[in-house]
């Protein structure tokens, strides 16, 4: 169960309206790596988790915080839009290029659809979607997904920091970036613990028997481009990250087979086959069949 | 530039047709973490990369291999569909529940749209989409995204391994799983090198000045749920993963502010405001304005 | 801010596994009218609302409850999947048509992607998306949207009720349906109050000056089909619902104008124009221009 | 069957070109609540309806009118684009900020993809999609969906009215708004009749036996937020809207149960389980199984 | 304007219910090449067309017919669903594998969402979307798109013909296939006339000055794969289709340039650059800048 | 298998930065008819093809070239973004309307998400999706799809040519347009050969027995609009394009049937039926049934 409290975790009030910036801020609310994504990702991981205890407490503990971050951003966006020209008649006069430029750079659905409110979309107006999230039930895989999400999110927030000089907005971003710092660290620490305790390890999933994979290819770097510098990386020689193999470097594939012959599915799927080549022998028969059925 | 060779990296021929399994295999071809995703993800990372040399060679080197993996899966899927009942008349007779069950479990677009061919969709028939990929230009973030992609991909391939006993399919999966092993290791090794050499580090992006974030919140675990076991994790006390702070554990938020008052945008956006409460004073004026314009 | 409590509002445990039903239940979790939709819809309405007080408390008060409903359904789905055949080798033998039928009727991503967990998708596997929700800032419009959402949701839950005889599932549905009963009533009562107090009224938005619309068409029923029975409805004669007009019935349009002539945009957009007809006169000039630029 | 007549129901010609406004107008053509949505929504309701006679005549009668509204908007948009700068070379010179602002605010696909024509997208360029529409077969639910659609549509049209001072555009909007007035009224009158005649009633679906729902929760307002003013609403005490119960107000849930234990699906799904804790006893066995299969 | 008549162009009644087939039939109603696609494609082409007269009359004339085809399919689907087991309790008993198989193979939203009605989706349940259609304003391009649409549609209908032996369904398909025959022919004849009359010609758009393209590459077949048989085709030697060049065959590219150096965008975008390599000289300065701003 | 070479087929370097143009150029990279579409379309056609030899070599030969075109455009876009104002603080000052206009006209995700890099999206920021491509297995249908794709692509590139005067960009477009010239010609020549050799012919699929279609409608032009000029086209009289029939022109349909009666699905789907009309007789029974189950 979830309970709401009519307070915010941090101040979310801009100094001045800025509809163009409101559009940009939508990215960290409703984008691929926005707060809706992490909020739902952590909660689905919790609901699907197979282990009671600290890892489940962890994803539940963070998941609810992230819904509050969605709320702070939505509140901020509504205020950025409140007094900003949204294309309403006198404001949008094309004679004033500054105003025209502002209106042109906004998310026009902020005005037309939401009446100066936030929306569950990214900075280009693409609706948030369920396919952004990851919850596989494998904890090392999922915590790595979380690490990535917090990294991408912090990169985006850092970029947004420099796209405004509004002290109120920067203040909120400074808070959200701090939380991203914590969350990146947290997932990295949690992933490290999973490996230390042997709960999961590289390669994920670690209890799939490696005897079933073609291990001769398991630690080969195969270079399908013509740049040769990747031979110098730690992935090209020496012990592998998982400690279970030795890397080797190869220019191109170390195996190859001919392509299998083309398929010939049922003629009633009306794909094109070699019919003309074999027309004397079989076409009549095939056509008879088609006519008959 | 890309060049094609009419060979496969590994044998991709099933022992027998299986249209239901063909549908399942679409997941690792065209799903969120399928081969199209990694192929395009690595290539966009290469095209957007700001550093010449080994890291760019790395993403280019792998990117082209992954397009070949798409090809192996597409080839396999076409063969799994080749002789399988696809709902064509006599096969689909509902009197034979086995056949009916098979037909019911297939991707019906395999037959209707592709004529027994592979499609750029996942195992539920959702089209692959550009929003699956990540290429931010920040290498530690992106390599972590890659690590995650290879983990999720290997988990899915391992699951698929047990959903068939076709030796040909398992043989191909055994190869793909081996390559996932390599690629997981590789991205982990590459990320480790980035950190060792100081190219990037935690928290990502590492050269965003932490002085600009509200550092008092940067290493706090804030528990927004009522499970207390997360207090025992390595993220709740002791040195942080990035070595720059000390974790602390808190039950609930360590800060809060009242919500800002509701916004009052332009009346011409026709949102509902307190109009009725202030009707004696201003409603007439507002209505006059609306009438006039 | 949002807080999580590791309890459910109602028991959410099935009697027995049923992966096919788990797929169906996804509709009311992640479909167009599922619980994610109402949860986010009510919260966005709250965040965008322009009036403090009871209406905002109302949407906040319900919004958090709905997140808990998502949680109950996700928990139920994970349990329905727990022991069900998910296509893992021995279970999926095509020799047993019952098992094959079950596997064929599941959401295969439940197994492959989520490892027997719930997902933010509908019963056909389409990811939930932000374009499902409505939050315009106009309260009568939005409460009507809410009324509709709770109606559609209760219809779907009622249908799902008869698609299982699992007492545990029916028990949960009996609870959710009761809450839908309340929420339908609640939005209807709230909408009625808005009208009584004059906060908003028909036609929405009620303070758009009707003098600006072409009022001669505001209460005409225009019949563009050839069925004549709609002339007998309360919308075809008598006072209008809003009390501001008198309905009238018309067979077909009461106005019409010729279509405006086709447009002739810039030739550099390379649309097809009458060029050939006027080739003697102007084509050379146009072509010269194109060559020159 | 549908027949087209090369006339418009109302004049749809702007005074002057305005590509930025053309983009905005796309919202009411191809947005969530645009004319394509209502046109297809009413027709699918007609095709799926289970009752012959006036209700079916009603949705058919309106459905065809709405296709004509799509046509009027498409025609208007093409004319707004006809002579407007679309980014063609000399117009787009960045030295003229006014022109640059205009070009920046347009839907660039209007020029690149459609050659100065209308498109089946919303004002942010998102393609129209089938998931916007509602046709459940339950008339009270669906007429409420229609009421909402006409309300949202009229709100958007009213907002758009103030975003231009072009008399031609306003003239068309004045007509469309009048039709929205009629259609809102019409659906409200039709819904009222359904209830009066007992065809359907609250709660929808009205013939689902309320004995099957947990009626103790059917009229409780449960407040999951900390704002207390919702206790003053007509939904918090007194007779319920459907006349079948008495509202009551509760702070928080009136029921709760512990969460069910985490699930333990098949190990071959490779989710993370408590394996490490039970490693002495069973891990070997599990691993043996995995190795063997 | 559009007018509806409560008749169908052809009988659309099945002999018996078949919910699995109803799902398949959705492909030609709401799929990429279904009837909604051609209906809206032709109408958008009409609305965007720059030439009055026969070509515009043509797309208008066909467009309205296609809406009627959507209607016939929707009507057929509703009847196929009418008496079919849709998973309602007693029907869905898993003890009867035939029924289970049928239910498993259906579009479950047909029952849950539409109450045994048709939906604007394809045979995998993906919603129809505006990005399926093409209306560029260039008639030769668009008529070729139409030709393709009618071809793909007829291929799909032909496949569907063999997936049922219901005489009523086959009767309707026999009608729709006949109309596809006409429409394929029609667009081919229309395209041929465009070329004969010089309205448009190859290469499309024909009045883009070929002097502006790098004509040395305009008729070269460049083989980027290692199969050599394409050298035997009519595209590899001899006069080009447009009569304006001579084809030639080349193994691989006939030109190449080095890749441009990687980009170095603003440091405040926090992409990874060579910072470490230049750390002694500039890192401090950069970091100072970042700190300061 | 695919191999990458770190060279481009043609120079892809702009003279100067232009972030607004970078957004526009995304259309031909990641739009409906962009290079990702043709690259994957040709490759899926190759993988699904049923004929070995020259047609398969053809699609493979072109497919790999097109991936290289994606690369050239991505490289170009990254350079157009490199030094352009992306909304970073000092650049975005709203006091300079020119800069504001530029920033407003960009794809803001170029900066926020990709850090000045290219993305797999169109010019409105819609992600590329698998539903853009066509690979039916029927070669005449698919080559016509390819012809259309190259036509639409060349039209778009020609339009983009005039939206910039940057010599570097125009140079690349001049190359891509030349390749589109070749590819249009090539598919037309290949389609012509298919027909000449009888591999496929009109109507597609040509070996579906026309005896199974209702041939009386196969060559009738049915005019569902009221414009009469289409009677003058080559599709309205004379021999049909496929040489198998004679066109005829008809005003409106040549056949019609009454609509079938509305369906009455299972009452447990809770659609609205005539219940009230038959209430005395059956409602009680129905309600009893519902109560009981």
C64-113 per-position pLDDT tens digit: 999 999 999 999 999 999 988 777 765 444 556 677 777 778 999 999 99
pLDDT-based confidence at residue B285 (cuts at 50, 70, 90): low
**Average pLDDT of span F199-207:** 95
* D201/C192 Cα distance (integer angstroms): 16
More confident residue, E248 or C105: E248
* E9/F171 Cα distance (integer angstroms): 53
pLDDT computed for residue C104 by the predictor: 77
Contact flag C293-F158 (C-beta cutoff 8 Å): no
* A177/A185 Cα distance (integer angstroms): 12
F224-244 per-position pLDDT tens digit: 999 999 999 999 999 999 999
- Neighbouring chains to C with at least 3 Cβ pairs closer than 8 Å: A, B, D, E, F
pLDDT computed for residue F283 by the predictor: 52
User: Could you tell me what percent of chain B has a pLDDT over 70?
Assistant: 91
Q: Which of B13, B67, B83, B208 to mutate to test the interface with F (most CBs of F within 10 A)?
A: B67
Inter-chain Cβ pairs, chain E and chain F, closer than 8 A: 379
The yes-or-no verdict on residue C20 having pLDDT over 80 is: yes
pLDDT-based confidence at residue E95 (cuts at 50, 70, 90): low
Task: Report the SS3 class of residue A250.
Answer: strand
What mean pLDDT is reported for chain B? 92
Contact B126, C109 (CB under 8 A): no
User: Could you tell me what percent of chain F has a pLDDT over 90?
Assistant: 85
Instruction: Show the low-confidence residues of chain A (pLDDT under 70).
Output: 88-97, 274-287, 289, 293
pLDDT computed for residue D89 by the predictor: 61
Could you tell me if E264 lies within 8 Å of chain B, comparing CB atoms? yes
Encode D7-24: b = buried (16+ Cβ within 10 Å), e = exposed. ebbbbbbbeebbbbbbbb
pLDDT-based confidence at residue F284 (cuts at 50, 70, 90): low
User: Could you tell me what percent of chain C has a pLDDT over 70?
Assistant: 91
* E196/F1 Cα distance (integer angstroms): 43
Contact flag E20-B112 (C-beta cutoff 8 Å): no
Could you tell me if C108 lies within 8 Å of chain A, comparing CB atoms? no
Contact B12, F14 (CB under 8 A): no
pLDDT computed for residue B85 by the predictor: 73
Number of Cβ within a 10 Å radius of residue B284: 10
Contact flag E213-F245 (C-beta cutoff 8 Å): no
The yes-or-no verdict on residue E281 having pLDDT over 50 is: no
Q: Which of B1, B12, B52 to mutate to test the interface with F (most CBs of F within 10 A)?
A: B1
Inter-chain Cβ pairs, chain D and chain E, closer than 8 A: 144
Contact flag B43-F71 (C-beta cutoff 8 Å): yes
C199-253 per-position pLDDT tens digit: 999 999 999 999 999 999 999 999 999 999 999 999 999 999 999 999 999 999 9
Contact flag B229-A57 (C-beta cutoff 8 Å): yes
Distance between A238 CA and the closest CA of chain B, angstroms:
11
The yes-or-no verdict on residue B149 having pLDDT over 90 is: yes
Closest partner residue to D120 (CB to CB) among E64, E119, E133 is E133
* A241/B190 Cα distance (integer angstroms): 10
ipTM over 0.90: yes
* D243/D218 Cα distance (integer angstroms): 12
pLDDT computed for residue B291 by the predictor: 75
Could you tell me if D272 lies within 8 Å of chain B, comparing CB atoms? no
* Mean pLDDT lowest among A228-242, E89-103, F187-201: E89-103
Q: What's phi and psi for E10, nearest 5 deg? A: -155, 155
Contacts of B106 in chain C (CB under 8 A): 104
User: Could you tell me what percent of chain E has a pLDDT over 70?
Assistant: 91
Pull the structure tokens for residue F56. 């398969």
Pull the structure tokens for residue B152. 């999720």
* E160/E173 Cα distance (integer angstroms): 8
Q: How many CA atoms lie within 13 A of D111 on its CB side?
A: 31
pLDDT computed for residue B99 by the predictor: 72
The yes-or-no verdict on residue F198 having pLDDT over 50 is: yes
pLDDT computed for residue F151 by the predictor: 98
Direct distance between the N- and C-terminal alpha carbons of chain B, in angstroms, rounded to an integer: 59
* C192/E156 Cα distance (integer angstroms): 51
Could you tell me if D167 lies within 8 Å of chain B, comparing CB atoms? no
E175-191 per-position pLDDT tens digit: 999 999 999 999 999 99
The closest of E89, E46, E91 to E67, measured between CA atoms, is E46
Contact flag A127-C130 (C-beta cutoff 8 Å): yes
SS3 per-residue string spanning chain D:
CEEECCEECCCCCCCCCCHHHHHHHHHHHHCCCCHHHHHHHHHHHHHHCCCCCHHHHHHHHHHHHHHHHHHHHHHHHHHHHHCCCCCCHHHHCCCCHHHHHHHHCCCHHHHHCCCCCCCCECCCCCECEHHHCCCCCCHHHHHHHHHHHHHHHHHHHHHHHCCCCCHHHHHHHHHHHHHHHHHHHHHHHHHHHHHHCCCCCCCCCCCCCHHHCCHHHCCEEEECCCCCHHHHCCCCCEECCCCCCEEEEEECCCCCEECCCCCCCCHHHCCCCCHHHHHHHHHHHHHHHHHHC
Contacts of E75 in chain D (CB under 8 A): 47
pLDDT computed for residue B280 by the predictor: 44
Direct distance between the N- and C-terminal alpha carbons of chain C, in angstroms, rounded to an integer: 59
pLDDT computed for residue C90 by the predictor: 58
Give me the average pLDDT of each 10-residue run along chain D (293 residues).
98 95 97 98 97 95 97 98 76 60 85 97 98 98 98 98 95 98 98 96 96 97 95 96 97 96 93 63 62 72
More confident residue, D91 or C54: C54
Contact flag E159-A269 (C-beta cutoff 8 Å): yes
Contact D283, C38 (CB under 8 A): no
F61-114 per-position pLDDT tens digit: 999 999 999 999 999 999 999 988 777 765 444 456 677 777 778 999 999 999
């Amino acid at each position: 169960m979830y309970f709401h409290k009519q307070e915010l975790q941090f101040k979310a009030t801009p100094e001045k309206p800025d509809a163009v910036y409101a559009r940009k801020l939508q990215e960290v609310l409703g984008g691929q790596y926005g707060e809706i994504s992490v909020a739902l990702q952590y909660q689905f991981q919790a609901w699907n988790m197979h282990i009671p205890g600290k890892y489940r407490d962890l994803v539940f503990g963070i998941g609810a915080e992230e819904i509050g971050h969605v709320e702070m951003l939505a509140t901020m966006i509504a205020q950025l839009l409140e007094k900003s020209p949204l294309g309403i008649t006198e404001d949008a006069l094309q004679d004033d290029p500054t105003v025209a430029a502002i209106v042109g750079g906004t998310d026009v659905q902020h005005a037309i659809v939401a009446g100066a409110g936030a929306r569950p979309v990214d900075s280009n107006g693409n609706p948030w979607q369920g396919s952004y999230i990851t919850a596989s039930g494998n904890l090392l895989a999922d915590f790595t997904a979380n690490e990535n999400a917090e990294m991408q999110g912090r990169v985006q927030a850092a970029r947004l920091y420099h796209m405004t000089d509004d002290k109120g907005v920067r203040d909120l971003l400074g808070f959200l970036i701090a939380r991203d710092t914590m969350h990146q660290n947290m997932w990295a620490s949690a992933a490290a613990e999973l490996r230390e305790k042997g709960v999961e390890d590289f390669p994920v999933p670690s209890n799939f028997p490696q005897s079933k994979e073609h291990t001769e290819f398991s630690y080969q770097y195969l270079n399908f481009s013509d740049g040769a510098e990747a031979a110098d990386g730690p992935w090209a020689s020496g012990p592998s990250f998982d400690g279970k193999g030795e890397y080797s470097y190869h220019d191109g594939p170390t195996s190859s087979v001919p392509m299998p012959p083309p398929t010939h599915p049922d003629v009633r799927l009306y794909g094109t086959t070699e019919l003309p080549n074999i027309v004397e022998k079989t076409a009549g028969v095939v056509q008879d069949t088609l006519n008959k059925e």
